[in-house]
A and B are shown apart, each in its own frame.
Chain A
Amino acid sequence: MRGRRLFFFTALLFLAVVVLIFAMATGAVDIPFKTVLAVLLNRLFSIPAANTDPTMEVIIAQIRLPRVILGFFVGASLAVAGVAFQGLLQNPLADPYTIGVSSGAALGATASMLLLPAAGIGSFYAVPLFGFAGALIALFTVYQLGRVGGRLPVVTVLLAGVVISSFFSALISLSMIAAGEQMRNIFFWLVGGLGFKGWPYVTLISLCFSPGLALLLYKSRDLNLILLGEEEALSLGVEVERTKKIVLVAASLVTAGAVSISGMIGFVGLIVPHAVRILIGPDHRFLFPASVLGGGIFLTITDTFARSVLAPVELPVGIVTAFLGAPFFIFLLRRHREKYRF
């Protein structure tokens, strides 16, 4: 197992680098790999780049690089949150959407587009900030609804999440009907996309992602033990309830960051954790880092596809993830179904 884990981890790391460079080279304007590498090396390590086209340099540094990194972060966030929710709720169907946090973020973002039409999509911060607030409101509500006498039983949290999720989705639909002109904007935001977002968004998402991931890594061993039975985890010295709360909050933070920036991108949080689990096993100490890579790779590929397949028209990446994700998942499931256990 140790050898297998190391192999897949190295492979994922390698793949991530290749995919990132490939993504930066691909788009409405194709850029040679050599140029991409030269610009990157120049930016990262100040290695002088010989005779590169300044337009290319701008495209890479100001448009493609932030977009690709943002995509990688969003994918990583959704995958990591998926791992956390599936582990926490001991349910293979759980993903960042089950718990209602992403619906909260979406409702917040929708509200900001409705209430602040002047700012609208144009404002960098209004949508994500509102989205983040919505995510927190959803989390707080689920937390309060799901809590039974100071404990967080898996079943009640799951139920509360599903209820809040449906309720908020209904509110979103309602506000879309009321939105009039803004409806199209809201719709495009909801189906998920990474277009027209520069470096500030990268900063924003890393502010959610980094502490969230750190907390999850810190609690990964405890999560393993809880997965084998809460009572025995307690008797092994794990602070079960505190761990569950920390994991819930951390995963929600990571989700809120991703959803409030990129909208509802489905499937990543569901299938990447499963795929990674098949590759490297169920140990969360390895599952979280590997999901960072797996989610990042998956969304980078799908986003590159989304913006280049019908260029210059961009497809919403959420549609592409579902399109590519569903068959991929079915393939995985069929190949591993007799071996596959959560």
Chain B
Amino acid sequence: MTAGDLMGLKMIVNGLSFSYGSALVLEGVALTIAEGDFVGIIGPNGSGKSTLLKILAALLKPAQGSVILDGRELRRWSRLDLARRIALVAQERGAGFNFLVEEVVAMGRYPYQGRFSAMGEADRRAVERAMHLTGCYQLRERELFSLSGGERQRVILARALAQETPCLLLDEPTSFLDIGYQVELLELLQSLNNREKLTVVMVMHDLNLASRYCRKLFLLHQGKIHACGDPAGVLNRENILAVYRTEVLIEPHPLGGSPQVIPISAKNLPGKTAYSGPVHLIGGGGSATPVMNELFIKGFPLSAGVLSAGDSDWAAARRLGLSMVEEAPFSPIREDRHRDNLGLIERSSAVVLAPLFVGPGNLLNVEAAGHALKQGLPVFVIDEPSIAARDFTGGRASLLYAELKEKGAVFVSRLDLLQLMKRDNGDGAILSHS
């Protein structure tokens, strides 16, 4: 069949506003949903995402603006016609728990049946198919209340599928499910979306699941669309910080690469510590990554240098968005990069020398720590394993370390360093220029 003509579904939302009483919940929302889309509506609590979904499902009427489905305004659709185009899996549940699974799924045929007519052949097929797809065929003789939360959600989804609509709206479908059921449900939706071009629009709380399964995200913030597009474009640190007021890391999913959001802390945002300037990290080859992450989480503003492009300290610093001086991979530190590094050091309030391996190419990094001491900055040297084991310069690095110690650098273990810095967070005594 010419699926495009018959099934083609298009929803256009324009200038949508809605308020509960005097509280404006949605304001000027515009979006388009086309057939085959897999859309996630995300946003913090109270951002209006459920309200938006309810308007798309025609449960609420917009105060202003329009929702146009297949060229006709939503409010001009009859309930029954609409029920053949859009199915809904809502969050709210009624009390009718001792219906049998089969009876519940069969209710999905309501829009196709006469008031007193029995189930026809097409109805029965749709019901069985929906039960098979969602894996609740074996449950069909069970009563709804006897099922677990995950099974119940599958039954409700089966009912929505039995409705045989080209579009499915879901309001936080995974919120009461454990991680196994969450993935199962979303993969079912994904396969329906792939195989049958089922249009899926869902409100999601879990950003990572939304990122993994949705092809398009709408990020709502205070009733407006803050960002929209593919997950990589929407889920970035700036957007999350602006909307959720939370500092996060964005990491690609190890399989598939969708951006995954890792929250750090809502409280210790950079710029809220007692220190005026950043803490400068000298490292390389992954030696600085643990301390970098720990200080970052504690809320210290950080800088770093000189790091070789592509090495793991460099990657970590980039991920955290630190200002840093970088050098080409596997190249000795050039003089201008060293000077840039000294520049960063001079703008910092303390320097941490990570337990890096030292060779002729990066000896300048150890010298940079000496420069910091001359500037009167506190220098913390993490010397475990000790420099003897890390010295590949024929002893020159070890000499520099001895000199650092003599001139007042504090040799600490990584854990002690964190303790020192935490204790110091109040008065800044150790980090003060002394």
Write the residues of chain A forming the contact surface with B, with a CB cutoff of 8 angstroms.
Answer: 1, 90-92, 218, 221, 224-232, 234-239, 277, 281-283, 340-342
User: Is the CB–CB distance between B163 and A236 below 8 Å?
Assistant: yes
B111 interface residue (CB < 8 Å to A): yes
User: Is the CB–CB distance between B94 and A235 below 8 Å?
Assistant: no
Docked Cα-Cα span, A236 to B110, in Å, equals 6
User: Is the CB–CB distance between B90 and A90 below 8 Å?
Assistant: no
Contacting residue for B92 out of A221, A225, A231, CB 8 A: A231
User: Is the CB–CB distance between A235 and B57 below 8 Å?
Assistant: yes
Docked Cα-Cα span, A221 to B114, in Å, equals 10
What DSSP secondary structure best describes chain A's contact surface? loop
Docked Cα-Cα span, A277 to B92, in Å, equals 24
Within 8 A of A (CB), among B42-77: 54, 57-59
CB distance from A85 to the nearest CB of B (A): 13
B176 interface residue (CB < 8 Å to A): no
Mark interface residues in B86-103 (1 if CB within 8 Å of A CB, else 0).
111110111111111001
Knowing A281-B98, A342-B98 are in contact, say whether A231-B90 is a contact too (CB < 8 A). Answer: yes
User: Is the CB–CB distance between B143 and A341 below 8 Å?
Assistant: yes
Complex A-B: 25 CB contacts under 8 Å: A1-B141, A91-B95, A221-B110, A224-B107, A225-B110, A227-B94, A227-B95, A228-B104, A229-B93, A230-B92, A231-B54, A232-B160, A234-B57, A234-B58, A235-B59, A235-B87, A235-B88, A235-B90, A236-B108, A237-B111, A239-B79, A281-B100, A282-B98, A283-B103, A341-B145
Knowing A235-B87, A282-B99 are in contact, say whether A228-B80 is a contact too (CB < 8 A). Answer: no
Complex interface: chain A residues within 8 A of B92 (CB): 229-231
Write the residues of chain B forming the contact surface with A, with a CB cutoff of 8 angstroms.
Answer: 54, 57-59, 79-80, 82-84, 86-90, 92-100, 103-104, 107-108, 110-111, 115, 141, 143, 145, 156, 159-160, 163, 169
Complex interface: chain B residues within 8 A of A340 (CB): 98
User: Is the CB–CB distance between A235 and B110 below 8 Å?
Assistant: no
Complex interface: chain B residues within 8 A of A224 (CB): 96, 99, 107
Chain A, residue nearest B145 (CB):
A341
Docked Cα-Cα span, A227 to B111, in Å, equals 17
Contacting residue for A283 out of B57, B82, B86, B99, CB 8 A: B99
Docked Cα-Cα span, A187 to B424, in Å, equals 83
CB distance from B83 to the nearest CB of A (A): 3
CB distance from B75 to the nearest CB of A (A): 13
Knowing A232-B156, A236-B163 are in contact, say whether A342-B95 is a contact too (CB < 8 A). Answer: yes
Complex interface: chain A residues within 8 A of B79 (CB): 234, 237-239
User: Is the CB–CB distance between A237 and B97 below 8 Å?
Assistant: no
Docked Cα-Cα span, A234 to B108, in Å, equals 12
CB distance from A114 to the nearest CB of B (A): 41
User: Is the CB–CB distance between B83 and A229 below 8 Å?
Assistant: no
CB distance from B201 to the nearest CB of A (A): 13
Complex interface: chain A residues within 8 A of B80 (CB): 237
User: Is the CB–CB distance between A282 and B96 below 8 Å?
Assistant: yes
Docked Cα-Cα span, A228 to B159, in Å, equals 11
Complex interface: chain B residues within 8 A of A238 (CB): 79, 110
